[in-house]
Amino acid sequence: MIEFRNVSKVFKTGDKQIDALKDIDITVEKGDIFGVIGFSGAGKSTLIRTVNLLEKPSSGEVLIEGKNYTTIPEKKLREAKRNIGMIFQHFNLLNSKTVYDNVAMPLILAKMKKSDIHTRVKEILQFVGLSDKADNYPNELSGGQKQRVGIARALAPNPSILLCDEATSALDPQTTKSILELLKRVNQEYKITILIITHEMEVIKQVCNRVAVMEDGQLIESGSVFDIFAHPRTVTTRNFVRSVVRDEVPESVINLINLDRESSRIYKVEFFGTDSGQPVVSKTAKRFNVEINVLFGNITELQGIPFGNLIIQVIGAHREVEDAIQYIIEQNVEVKEVEADGSQHRVNDQSFVGNIVHG
């Protein structure tokens, strides 16, 4: 659908040279809601702008449905752009025109018949839930409503791709959520492939199925949202994941860790897609002669699958506790023991054997 092949972009300002994109390779499949996340200046906007050629790559190519648009004539390119809608952080609506006229604009540019424009605008305003605002001007709307107009305008010419550059960054969390819900509907009902640029992991978590992480113009990690959240490989990615799913051990829990490790130990149990944390915990408690307290939990959902961690205190005889933990590990759950200094180390089968030997 959208393929970035060795895309690089160099900006030359005066005698300074900025490598905004360095050899980017990404493939966005049809039907994806693909997220690109990175800090400010990472090159995200530059990347998304190469898709509709607001920015021409210095080298490499961007293929849309297999076609490279840099080589086609200007006029054809303008027509091709109708296949790619775009929405912006600051909406970029015409303040001098009504909601209706804003949404109609791309159709007017395409020289569509007036009656057809009317039908299409009504239909699309209905879809974004702004039928009653057709005659209002943008400055009479809230930020969320303005972005809905932006979405309606982008969808009007029936594109197959929607580009979103920080589309929710100017909105509050509640409004962000409703706009993201709308984008999901756009993806599902109109079968539109969506490319989202953001610096908020929350956005990726809420709507994307695949994600790429950018830093300093480079692609540092990419994959399914689930994999990236479960196994971030770089520090940057891990920090982004942490902004949504806290995985550090809270102070209050650390204070609970006493020196009496014989009778009570604290573990962090991480779930990536296992049915849910709770059944494992309660099953373990039933099966072994231990008491399990959930001290802290951070479970969220990624595309309908539970994801996160529980910090549990396991109380019981030393041997019994170790067997219980062994059992949990066998359920395909990752377990880390929490130390008094807040550090965590993985409890895998081998170290466990070691523990048993020592104990």
Ligand X SMILES: Nc1ncnc2c1ncn2[C@@H]1O[C@H](COP(=O)(O)OP(=O)(O)OP(=O)(O)O)[C@@H](O)[C@H]1O
Q: Which residue has the tokens 């819900």?
A: 181
Binding residue for another protein, selected from 84, 141, 151, 219, defined by CB under 8 A: 84
Distance of CA 261 to the CA centre of its chain: 40
Letters for 65-104 (x = contact with Mg ion by CB under 5 A, - = none) are: ----------------------------------------
If 0-12 CB within 10 Å is exposed, 13-18 middle and 19+ buried, where does residue 197 land?
buried
Q: Which residues contact 248 (CB under 8 A, 6 or more apart)?
A: 242, 342
Q: Interacting stretch for another protein, rule CB under 8 A, among 27-35, 90-98, 211-219, 347-355?
A: 90-98
Q: Interacting stretch for ligand X, rule CB under 6 A, among 41-49, 102-110, 287-295, 340-348?
A: 41-49
27: contact with another protein by CB under 8 A: no
Give the DSSP letter of residue 113.
-
92: contact with another protein by CB under 8 A: yes
Min dist CB 153 to ligand X, Å, is 21
**327 Rama sector, left if φ>0, alpha if ψ -120 to 50, beta otherwise:** alpha
86: contact with another protein by CB under 8 A: yes
Radius of gyration of the chain (CA): 25
Cα torsion through 156, 180, 302, 214, rounded to 10: 80
Q: Interacting stretch for another protein, rule CB under 8 A, among 102-110, 195-203, 226-234, 294-302?
A: 102-110
**Would you say 21 and 9 are in contact if contact means Cβ atoms under 8 Å apart?**
yes
Min dist CB 106 to another protein, Å, is 4
Across 182-224, where does the E strand assignment appear?
193-198, 210-215, 218-224
Q: Interacting stretch for Mg ion, rule CB under 5 A, among 38-46, 70-78, 151-159, 286-294?
A: 38-46
11: contact with ligand X by CB under 6 A: yes
**Would you say 198 and 36 are in contact if contact means Cβ atoms under 8 Å apart?**
yes
236: contact with Mg ion by CB under 5 A: no
Q: Which of residues 113-152 bind ligand X (CB under 6 A)?
A: none
SS3 51: helix
45: contact with Mg ion by CB under 5 A: yes
For another protein, how many residues bind (rule: CB under 8 A)? 32
Q: Which residue has the tokens 């020289």?
A: 111
209: contact with Mg ion by CB under 5 A: no
Give the DSSP letter of residue 68.
E
Binding residue for another protein, selected from 79, 248, 291, 301, defined by CB under 8 A: 79
18: contact with ligand X by CB under 6 A: yes
Binding residue for another protein, selected from 109, 294, 353, 356, defined by CB under 8 A: 109
243: contact with ligand X by CB under 6 A: no
SS3 39: coil
Sheet architecture: strand order including 59-64: 16-28, 2-13, 59-64, 67-68
Min dist CB 27 to Mg ion, Å, is 22
Site for another protein, rule CB under 8 A? 52, 54, 75, 77-82, 84-86, 88, 90-97, 105-106, 108-110, 137, 139, 153-154, 157, 163
